[in-house]
C-alpha cells in the first residue's frame, strides 16, 4: 500500500510541474506579444534631413594657359629638339620635319624670282631704247626728214615694250609671292613653343610621318590652374553666379579637398549628351603638386542666395 500511495503522489507532483511550466511559457508569450505590439504601435520620430542645395557637377583640371601644337604641313619628322617634361621658352624649337624638300622648293622659287627680276630689267632697257627711237623719229618728223610710217612704227614699239614691262613686273610679283609662300611652308615645317611652359605631351618620333593637323605637342604653363565643367545643364546653370563658393575634390587623390570660386560662366550653350550644357570655369584658392592636367574633379557649388 505504501508503494502505491507514493506512486500516486509522484504522479500528482509531475502534473503540477507541467501545469506550472505551461503557465510560465504562456505568460512569456503573452508578454512578448504585448511588447511587440507596443513597439510597433509607437511612432518613430526621425530627425528631419536638410536638403543639399549645392549644385553638383564633374569637371576636368586644366592649366589656365596652354597650347596644343599641330604640324601644319605633311612630312617626315627629322629632329626632336625638346623632350617631354622639359621647360621651354616661347619661340624655342620643339619638332622639325625633314626640310630638304622644303628648302629645295624655296631655292627653286627664288631662282625663278631672280630670272623674273632679270626679265624686268631687260624689259626696262628695251622700253628705254624704244622711247629714245620714238623721240628721235618725232624730232626728224619736225624737220620733214622721216616718213609718217616710221613714226607710227616707233610708237607701236614703245607700246609693245610698255606692255612687256608690265607683264614682266607681274611675273616677278608672282614669283616673289611664290618664293615667300615656299619660305612660309618651310617655316611651318618646324614647331616652336608659342608660350613659356612645360612640354606636357610629346607624340613624335624621328622618321615617322606627320600628317597635317595631328596634335604632336601640348605645352602647359604650370603657374596657374583651373577646373572646367561642361556638366551644368540649362536647368541648373541659372542658379550659379560668378563668385560662388566651390568645394573641389578629386577622384585620383582621395581625401584632398580644395576650396575655390566660380570665375566665369560661358554664355553660349552646347548640346551634349542630349542636354544643353554650359561650361563653368572655377579658380581654386590653392593647389596641390600631385594634380595633373585632365584629372577628374568633383565640383560642389554653393549658390549665392
3 state SS of 93: strand
Whether residue 285 sits in one domain with residue 265: yes
- Contact call for residues 78 and 103 (beta carbons, < 8 A): no
With respect to residue 73, please indicate whether it lies within any of the assigned structural domains. Answer: no
Query: What CA–CA distances, in Å, run from 158 to 134, 142, 148, 173?
Result: 7, 19, 16, 23
With respect to residue 218, please indicate whether it lies within any of the assigned structural domains. Answer: no
What is the reported pLDDT for 10? 47
Write out pLDDT tens, residues 74-94.
899 999 999 999 999 999 999
Interval 197-225 mean pLDDT: 94
Whether residue 234 sits in one domain with residue 254: yes
189: left (phi over 0), alpha (psi -120 to 50) or beta: alpha
**C-alpha grid cell, residue 172:** 616677278
With respect to residue 288, please indicate whether it lies within any of the assigned structural domains. Answer: yes
With respect to residue 21, please indicate whether it lies within any of the assigned structural domains. Answer: yes
Whether residue 292 sits in one domain with residue 266: yes
Whether residue 183 sits in one domain with residue 240: no
Write out pLDDT tens, residues 96-123.
999 888 889 999 999 999 999 999 999 9
Whether residue 257 sits in one domain with residue 179: no
Write out pLDDT tens, residues 138-178.
888 888 877 888 888 999 999 999 999 999 999 999 999 99
What is the reported pLDDT for 6? 45
CATH of the domain at 295: 2.40.30.170
Residues composing the chain: 305
Q: Which domain holds residue 257?
A: 55-64+224-302
What is the reported pLDDT for 274? 85
Separation of CA 254 from chain center: 26
Confidence band, pLDDT 50/70/90 cuts, at residue 273 = confident
Strands 245-250 and 209-210: unpaired
Does this model's pTM top 0.85? My answer is no
Write out pLDDT tens, residues 31-82.
665 565 555 555 545 455 455 689 999 999 999 999 999 999 889 999 999 9
With respect to residue 161, please indicate whether it lies within any of the assigned structural domains. Answer: yes
With respect to residue 199, please indicate whether it lies within any of the assigned structural domains. Answer: no
Identify the domain boundary among 188, 216, 235: 188
Interval 262-288 mean pLDDT: 94
Confidence band, pLDDT 50/70/90 cuts, at residue 18 = low
Quick one: which H or E segment has residue 184? Answer: helix 148-188
* Domain total in the chain: 3
Provide, for the chain, the percentages of residues in helix, strand and coil under a 3-state DSSP scheme, each rounded to the nearest 5: 40, 30, 30
With respect to residue 8, please indicate whether it lies within any of the assigned structural domains. Answer: yes
- Contact call for residues 299 and 229 (beta carbons, < 8 A): yes
With respect to residue 261, please indicate whether it lies within any of the assigned structural domains. Answer: yes
Identify the domain boundary among 162, 188, 214: 188
Amino acid at each position: 500500500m505504501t508503494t502505491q500511495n507514493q506512486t500516486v503522489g509522484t504522479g500528482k507532483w509531475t502534473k503540477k510541474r507541467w501545469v506550472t511550466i505551461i503557465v510560465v511559457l504562456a505568460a512569456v508569450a503573452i508578454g512578448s506579444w504585448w511588447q511587440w505590439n507596443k513597439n510597433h504601435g509607437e511612432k518613430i520620430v526621425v530627425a528631419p534631413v536638410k536638403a543639399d542645395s549645392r549644385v553638383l557637377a564633374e569637371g576636368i583640371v586644366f592649366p589656365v594657359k596652354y597650347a596644343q601644337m599641330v604640324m601644319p604641313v605633311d612630312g617626315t619628322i627629322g629632329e626632336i629638339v625638346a623632350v617631354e617634361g622639359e621647360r621651354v621658352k616661347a619661340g624655342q624649337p620643339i619638332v622639325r620635319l625633314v626640310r630638304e624638300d622644303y628648302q629645295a622648293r624655296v631655292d627653286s622659287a627664288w631662282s625663278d624670282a631672280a630670272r623674273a627680276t632679270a626679265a624686268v630689267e631687260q624689259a626696262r632697257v628695251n622700253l628705254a631704247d624704244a622711247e629714245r627711237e620714238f623721240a628721235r623719229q618725232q624730232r626728224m618728223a619736225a624737220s620733214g626728214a622721216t616718213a609718217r610710217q616710221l613714226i607710227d612704227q616707233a610708237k607701236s614699239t614703245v607700246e609693245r615694250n610698255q606692255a612687256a614691262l608690265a607683264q614682266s613686273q607681274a611675273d616677278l610679283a608672282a614669283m616673289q609671292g611664290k618664293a615667300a609662300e615656299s619660305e612660309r611652308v618651310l617655316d611651318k615645317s618646324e614647331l616652336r613653343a608659342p608660350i613659356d611652359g612645360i612640354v606636357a605631351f610629346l607624340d613624335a618620333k624621328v622618321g615617322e610621318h606627320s600628317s597635317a593637323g595631328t596634335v604632336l605637342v601640348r605645352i602647359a604653363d604650370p603657374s596657374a590652374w583651373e577646373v572646367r565643367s561642361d556638366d551644368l545643364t540649362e536647368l541648373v546653370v541659372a542658379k550659379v553666379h560668378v563668385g560662388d563658393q566651390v568645394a573641389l575634390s578629386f577622384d585620383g587623390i582621395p581625401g584632398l579637398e580644395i576650396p575655390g570660386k566660380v570665375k566665369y560662366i560661358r554664355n553660349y550653350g552646347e548640346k551634349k549628351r542630349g542636354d544643353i550644357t554650359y561650361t563653368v570655369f572655377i579658380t581654386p584658392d590653392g593647389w596641390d603638386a600631385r594634380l595633373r592636367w585632365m584629372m577628374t574633379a568633383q565640383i560642389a557649388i554653393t549658390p549665392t542666395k
